[in-house]
Amino acid sequence: MAVTTPQVVEDEGSRARLVSAAAELVHAESYHSVGVKAICDRARVRRGSFYHFFESKQSLVLEAVEKIWEGFSAEVLEVCWDRSIEPRDRMERMVEQVVRRHTRDRERTGSVLGCSFGNLTAESTALDAAIRNRLVDVFDAWAAAVAVPISEAQAAGQIDREAPAHGMALEVVSELQGLILMAKARNEPAVIETGGRNIVARLWGARAP
Amino acid sequence: MAVTTPQVVEDEGSRARLVSAAAELVHAESYHSVGVKAICDRARVRRGSFYHFFESKQSLVLEAVEKIWEGFSAEVLEVCWDRSIEPRDRMERMVEQVVRRHTRDRERTGSVLGCSFGNLTAESTALDAAIRNRLVDVFDAWAAAVAVPISEAQAAGQIDREAPAHGMALEVVSELQGLILMAKARNEPAVIETGGRNIVARLWGARAP
């Protein structure tokens, strides 16, 4: 009887499961507290196969950032381009979707987990510049989406035209990052809701009631 | 010849060195990437002695947060109470001191390391509630300092009195946290400088030039 050497056939399902597991675990805990073993266990992929797909935890997490970005973009940012909705309502909905994500995290885990992009930034000193650079792209792309309703509102005379829309949008993203961090500290998504309402009200020239 | 069992005499110097080492290493890297061994090595304390002083890495880091807060408070916040300086100038100096800290970090290490309090918040999901609660106290104390020039400026009619000073101050702290995170992503302390100038200008009712 011939002895067959079983070849490890790793399907694309394993690869995708590793990316999903990394995205979930790093978000739920942190980059440095999650090891390759935990990611493999969650993905139901043998540890020995990990390096068949990825050079390192960092290269896996770089792909996980793409995956998180796709989900975030679809859930939170798509509304920014919807010209059937008033610019100010689009901004409000964008903020509401951010609040919804953090409310959902707390319902599911008991904790506001924070923004995956912001959390990774906070942990990035010890990481490759590749991850940090990708995070800058993410923040810029988020701001590019937010700039759409802002520039339309500027064109419609609803918002001050002196400042460039992209600069204002970068401020909005930065302010949201601050709010999400404060919401995480207090374990209270309402921090983002109240603060986000103030951001929109301030852009449109009046303080929220 | 009598065999003497050397008793480990751990002086207060060892304890203080452990706290300093934890404060430095966690700031330079991250909570989860720094182990007890690295902290002991940096502090020149034998690993076996660590638990003579601290129950756990978390309890050490809780003390490190106190130490960081003392330094931060003395360097950044003291000016908020200096009534010999105009309220707006105090706010500007507070922001400048924040910028100075992050500029100094980059000069020393090549990287904007971010705010120790913000970084720990981002990593806090897997940590004791004790640390998270202490971080909330820190953000509140920071806001209490910032509220001093704001409320004086309100009394002097320089700032809108409709919103309570403490609420405005909490917004300032949240916005600074967002800016520090963005500065870390871009490795550029000027992000805090520009954004901080906008915060102060907005509070005093005009956009920065």
Q: State the alpha helices, DSSP H only, in chain A.
A: 12-28, 36-43, 47-53, 57-72, 87-109, 116-122, 129-155, 165-186, 190-203
B65 at interface of A, judged by CB pairs closer than 8 A:
no
Statement: residue B3 has pLDDT above 90: no
Taking the CA of residue A79 and the nearest CA in chain B, the distance in Å comes to: 23
Statement: residue B203 has pLDDT above 50: yes
- Going residue by residue through chain A, which has 209 residues, state the pLDDT in tens, using 9 for 90 and above: 455 544 445 677 999 999 999 999 999 999 999 999 999 999 999 998 899 999 999 999 999 999 999 999 999 999 999 999 999 999 999 999 999 999 999 999 999 999 999 999 999 887 778 999 999 999 999 999 999 999 999 999 999 888 899 999 999 999 999 999 999 999 999 999 999 999 999 999 864 44
Taking the CA of residue B171 and the nearest CA in chain A, the distance in Å comes to: 8
ipTM of the modeled complex: 0.93
How do residues B149-165 score in pLDDT, each as one tens digit?
A: 999 999 999 998 888 99
B40 within some domain: no
B44 within some domain: no
B32 at interface of A, judged by CB pairs closer than 8 A:
yes
**Domain holding B144: CATH number?**
1.10.357.10
Backbone angles phi, psi at A163, to 5 degrees: -90, 145
Structure confidence at residue A11 (pLDDT): 73
A205 at interface of B, judged by CB pairs closer than 8 A:
no
Nearest to B43 by CA among B69, B71, B15: B15
For range B178-189, the mean pLDDT: 97
How do residues B60-118 score in pLDDT, each as one tens digit?
A: 999 999 999 999 999 999 999 999 999 999 999 999 999 999 999 999 999 999 999 99
Q: What CA–CA distance (Å, rounded) separates A87 from B122?
A: 31
How do residues B193-202 score in pLDDT, each as one tens digit?
A: 999 999 999 9
Contacts of A132 in chain B (CB under 8 A): 185, 187
Q: Which domain holds residue A147?
A: 57-203
> Could you tell me the pLDDT band of residue B2, with boundaries at 50, 70 and 90?
low
Nearest to A169 by CA among A90, A58, A74, A70: A90
Taking the CA of residue A7 and the nearest CA in chain B, the distance in Å comes to: 36
B3 or B134, which is more confident: B134
Beta-carbon separation of B119 and A114 below 8 A = no
Among B24, B25, B125, pick the best mutation site for testing chain A contact (most A Cβ within 10 A): B125
For B78, counting Cβ atoms within 10 Å of its Cβ (0-12 exposed, 13-18 middle, 19+ buried), the class is middle
Beta-carbon separation of B177 and A178 below 8 A = yes
A169 within some domain: yes
DSSP track, A119-153:
HHHHTGGGS-HHHHHHHHHHHHHHHHHHHHHHHHH
Among A124, A138, A192, pick the best mutation site for testing chain B contact (most B Cβ within 10 A): A124
A116 within some domain: yes
Structure confidence at residue B162 (pLDDT): 86
Closest CB from B31, B114, B174 relative to A179: B174
A111 within some domain: yes
Closest CB from B122, B173, B191 relative to A119: B122
Among A24, A57, A177, A192, pick the best mutation site for testing chain B contact (most B Cβ within 10 A): A177
For B133, counting Cβ atoms within 10 Å of its Cβ (0-12 exposed, 13-18 middle, 19+ buried), the class is middle
Q: What's the whole-number average pLDDT of chain B?
A: 92
The per-type count for chain B, helices as H runs and strands as E runs, is: 9, 0
Structure confidence at residue A209 (pLDDT): 43
Q: Under a CB-based contact definition with an 8 Å cutoff, are residues B179 and B102 in contact?
A: no
A79 within some domain: yes
Structure confidence at residue B101 (pLDDT): 97
B33 at interface of A, judged by CB pairs closer than 8 A:
yes
Beta-carbon separation of B123 and A122 below 8 A = yes
Nearest to A27 by CA among A147, A157, A180: A180
Structure confidence at residue A70 (pLDDT): 97
Q: Under a CB-based contact definition with an 8 Å cutoff, are residues B146 and B172 in contact?
A: yes
Structure confidence at residue B205 (pLDDT): 86
- State CA B116 to chain mean position distance: 5
Nearest to A43 by CA among A64, A68, A22, A26: A22
The H or E element that residue B1 is part of is none
Q: What CA–CA distance (Å, rounded) separates A166 from A163?
A: 9
Interface of B with A in 103-162 (CB under 8 A): 109, 111, 113-114, 118-119, 121-126, 132, 135-136, 139, 162
Nearest to B168 by CA among B185, B153, B180: B153
Among A31, A182, A197, pick the best mutation site for testing chain B contact (most B Cβ within 10 A): A182
Query: CB B163: neighbour CB atoms within 10 A?
Result: 15
Structure confidence at residue B10 (pLDDT): 64
Structure confidence at residue B6 (pLDDT): 47
A196 at interface of B, judged by CB pairs closer than 8 A:
no
Q: Under a CB-based contact definition with an 8 Å cutoff, are residues B128 and B56 in contact?
A: no
Beta-carbon separation of B185 and A135 below 8 A = yes
Contacts of B58 in chain A (CB under 8 A): none
Beta-carbon separation of B126 and A29 below 8 A = yes
pTM (two decimals) = 0.93
| Closest Cα in chain A to B126 | A29
Structure confidence at residue A72 (pLDDT): 98
A70 within some domain: yes
A59 Cβ neighbours under 8 A, 6+ residues apart: none
Distances (CA, A) of A155 to A147, A148, A161: 12, 11, 8
A146 within some domain: yes
Question: How many domains is chain A partitioned into structurally?
Answer: 1
A42 Cβ neighbours under 8 A, 6+ residues apart: A21, A24, A25
Q: What CA–CA distance (Å, rounded) separates A125 from B75?
A: 23
Q: Radius of gyration over alpha carbons of chain B, in Å?
A: 20
